[in-house]
């Protein structure tokens, strides 16, 4: 899928390396976490991106509370940041301070100043994955604790590039 303004961006390759999913709640608080699962495509005649969050993640609360989220892709210089934000919770540590993450609000959504590509996403649909809906049991090995992800299908409303 070609995103306007990005001629050589390979979503599948980049999401597999990791990206920061960031959300802002109704109080204006911001939290972020590393994700490496997602899809981009066309649904309901719109360009969409689907992201997945487990319910125990602190960012889940922010995704539930707000209308938009961002998905930010970085260069190799931020590998340590992605590792840190994927293993630490914003409940216990200020990820923004520890990782020197700076953001501005664009269209009410947090956009990191050093991200190579940021997708600003408006939530359209959310649903929990359910054990009984799997048609093949092999993915269930990802859910030994029964903590199925929530899928957020979001419209891509803007693409910010650096």
> What does the pLDDT look like over 95-122, one tens digit per residue?
999 999 999 999 899 999 999 999 999 9
Q: What is the pLDDT of residues 115-148, one digit of tens each?
A: 999 999 999 999 999 999 999 999 999 999 999 9
What is the pLDDT, as a whole number, of residue 9? 87
CATH superfamily, domain 11-161, is Electron Transport, Fmn-binding Protein; Chain A (2.30.110.10)
In this structure, what are the phi and psi dihedrals at residue 98, rounded to the nearest 5 degrees? Answer: -60, -40
| pTM score | 0.94
Say if residues 71 and 38 touch (Cβ distance below 8 Å): yes
Residue 74: which of 120, 34, 39 has the closest Cα?
A: 34
Q: What is the mean pLDDT of the chain?
A: 94
Q: Distance between CA atoms of 103 and 94, rounded to whole angstroms? A: 14
Cα distances from 4 to residues 1, 49, 70, 97, 156, in angstroms, run: 10, 14, 16, 32, 10
Q: Is the pLDDT of residue 5 over 60?
A: no
């Amino acid at each position: 899928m070609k995103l306007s303004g990005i001629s050589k961006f390979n979503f599948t390759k980049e999401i597999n390396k990791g990206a920061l999913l960031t959300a802002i709640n109704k109080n204006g608080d911001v939290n972020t976490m590393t994700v490496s699962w997602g899809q981009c495509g066309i649904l309901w005649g719109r360009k969409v991106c689907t992201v997945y969050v487990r319910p125990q993640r602190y960012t889940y609360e922010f995704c539930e509370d707000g209308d938009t989220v961002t998905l930010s892709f970085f260069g190799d210089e931020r590998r340590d940041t992605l590792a840190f934000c994927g293993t630490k919770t914003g409940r216990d540590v200020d990820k923004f301070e520890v990782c020197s993450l700076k953001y501005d609000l664009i269209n009410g959504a947090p956009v990191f100043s050093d991200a190579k590509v940021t997708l600003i996403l408006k939530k359209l649909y959310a649903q929990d994955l359910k054990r009984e809906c799997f048609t093949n049991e092999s993915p269930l090995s990802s859910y030994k604790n029964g903590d199925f992800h929530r899928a957020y299908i979001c419209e891509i409303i803007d693409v910010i590039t650096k």
